[in-house]
Structure 1
Amino acid sequence: MSRHFWSIIIVGLLSFFLTNSVAYGTELIENNGLREGHLLPCPSGVSCVVSDSQESKSYIAPIPYHTDSNHAREILLKVLTVVPRTKVVQTTDNYIRAESTGKIFGGIDELEFYFPPNQPLIQLRSASRNSQFDLGLNRRRLEQIRLALRELNI
């Protein structure tokens, strides 16, 4: 097959992925927040990790802390300010939601952090708004946040 043929195929595929990822990947999906004191389980069809469900392949361990919850929350908020392309969009006394925008395709991942009462840990959830194939980015991002918090001795 000619070089021209492969060029057209590659450009077509890139155009498809870029337009679909940006158009579909930035739509707000009401698939976040707390329900009955727990983060939502991972939905089917998107890349997701969550610490509230150990039975799933999408399980990620919660982050323990050794200080009071208000101090741990303040430190987490500071850490989130340095996570690339991430902005905090909602905070309460025991919940933080942030959005991370993808570097290449512009899709958005929802990051959630829940401080359950009387438990010195942070429950975690990170879910892509549209993609099944994040190559482990949701898990890696939360693990980097875990390491940063550990380095800051929370």
Structure 2
Amino acid sequence: MEQFLQVGVISSTHGIRGEVKVFPTTDDPNRFKKLKKVILETKKEKLSLEVQGVKFFKQFVIVKFKEIDNINDIEQYKGCSLFVSREDAVALEEDEYFIADLIGMEVYTNENPEELFGTLKDVIETGANEVYLVESKTHGEVLIPAIRQCILSVDVKAQKMQVHLLNGLLDQ
């Protein structure tokens, strides 16, 4: 399991007082309002930064960090990712999962529960529901909608998922 979860990517600076525009990679950007600290990952190190203020602008979140009051101090971090520790992440509802916990999960079908069907490679957000991209040795890339009819069980600790393949999901 990942220790840190990505919440956004710094896309640019905002103004001259050290604020940044962050493209949120979380499904609920309002979570930024509750953030007290984030981990900024650079190519060389991980920096712990305290969040001083948050506001919203179009699809971006404008974030102000304590101790950074100048555009020159923050400009070097454009393109860097922001993470939160698992302890600081929001609590999940039942049947909600962090994408980082799903990637790499072994996928089995209810038709053949002992034989590995494939590995979950990506989660695609479509608006209506998420879709899991599973790489199968037999069937290639298979798209499985993340709906109750298809996703029968998820065991994050064991890194296993059991699915039901609806008619039409596999190429004939």
Shared fold, TM over 0.5: no
Greater length-normalized contact order (CA 8 Å, ≥ 6 residues apart): 1
User: The TM-score by the shorter chain falls in which range?
Assistant: under 0.3
TM superposition score normalised by structure 2: 0.22
Select the structure of larger CA radius of gyration. 2
